[in-house]
Amino acid sequence: MPIFSQDVQEILLSALRMPEYREEFIQVIETLRSDIDALELTGTGDVTGPASSTDNAITRYDGITGKSIQNSGATIDDSGNLTANNISGTNTGNVTLAAVGSSPNANSASLSGQALTLQPADGTNPGVVSTASQTFAGDKTFSGAISASNYSGTSSGTNTGDVTLAAFGSTPNANGASITSQAVNLEPADATNPGGVSTGTQTFAGNKTFSGSVQSNTSFIVQDPGAGTETITVQAPTLAGSYSLTLPVDDGSSAQFMQTDGSGVLSWSSIMHLDSDASAGGNPTESLTVTGLLGTDTILSVSQRVAGANNTAITAFGSPGVGTLSVSWTADPGAGAIVRVLVRRS
């Protein structure tokens, strides 16, 4: 491969043909010889490229020979800004947000050059909500109200219009409501289906708990829980005023009855009779032993079960003690008088 180009070679030959410059030229060549000898030319061929190129385009190799280059669509301007159709890696330029696109994809967006385009969601892909018709995948929960300009189809269709609320229906169903065109009818609940509470007679399924008071203007009816159809009706009499009753805290014991304290507080109470030991005689008033008697018992009556030796009548009795009661007779009853004490115990 020549060290000098064709033009340089011609100049050198012309100089050698001129005697007056030959000696000086030879001295220059000798001076440069060591530098020329030191040159190591390792080129193995010329690099070729296209006939034209794009201004500021980034040069690319064409193939794998290392000798052929080609034009590209990526450019770097004089300020160092990179422009390309698609960029991967670290973006060091300005990215602009383009209008919402119309091509859903798994990334929910696309990048063209420095322009980022958000794509709409559809039944398969994530994305943004556009102004066009869309079908979304998955359940969606809205924290606020939903309004629409039109509605058509069934309850599982697409709402495209105004929905009106029609009169309360009369046909219970599993949805608790029905839709006819744009009209929604709430349907009543019954023993099988959910729904609304109507003004008519209804039977509800399941237990119902009310956090407030339940009021009936007529009566309260309880039906036989077994196979029968008989009922119990509880109703209030004609009242001069309202009052409240507070039930006992438990279900009481066998043979007990319910009593009131006069203020509507109910409690369980028992009626029982207790017999005393026989009197000793000698005094018209005697403290008798009454086994089982409590100081808190209320004495309803005291009668003579067995008369004493003197056969006198009981005239009075005192307050009960624990196992004792003071009884008075018209005179000394004598020995052997036994009294029966009727008490109420709460």
- Compute the average pLDDT of residues 179-201: 89
Query: Which of 198, 222, 255 is at the close of a domain?
Result: 198
pLDDT of the residue at 108: 86
The answer to whether position 22 is within a domain reads: yes
Does a structural domain hold residue 238? no
Compute the distance between CA of residue 296 and CA of residue 112 in angstroms, rounded to an integer: 97
Is position 284 within any domain? yes
| Cα-trace Rg, the chain | 57
12 within some domain? yes
Which pLDDT score, from 0 to 100, does residue 1 have? 47
pLDDT reading at 181 higher than 70: yes
Q: How many domains does the chain have?
A: 3
Contacts of 327 (CB under 8 A, 6+ apart): 276, 279, 285, 286, 287, 288, 302, 314, 316, 317, 318, 339
Report pTM.
Answer: 0.42
- Tell me whether residue 203 is in a domain: no
**Which tokens belong to 81?**
């800004």
Supply the range of the domain harboring residue 26.
6-38
Which position has the higher pLDDT, 206 or 226?
A: 206
Mean pLDDT of 236-253: 92
* pLDDT above 60 (res 43): no
Domain assignment present for 69: no
Residue 113's closest CA among 126, 125, 97?
Answer: 97
The last residue of one of the domains, among 163, 182, 198, is 198
Q: Among 166, 198, 230, where does a domain finish?
A: 198
Identify whether 168 is part of a domain: yes
Tokens read off for 331 = 């005179």
Give domain status of residue 297, yes or no: yes
How much is the mean pLDDT over the chain?
Answer: 83
Q: Answer whether residue 80 shows pLDDT above 70.
A: yes
Instruction: Report the C-alpha gap between 286 and 133 in whole angstroms.
Output: 103
pLDDT of residue 258: 93
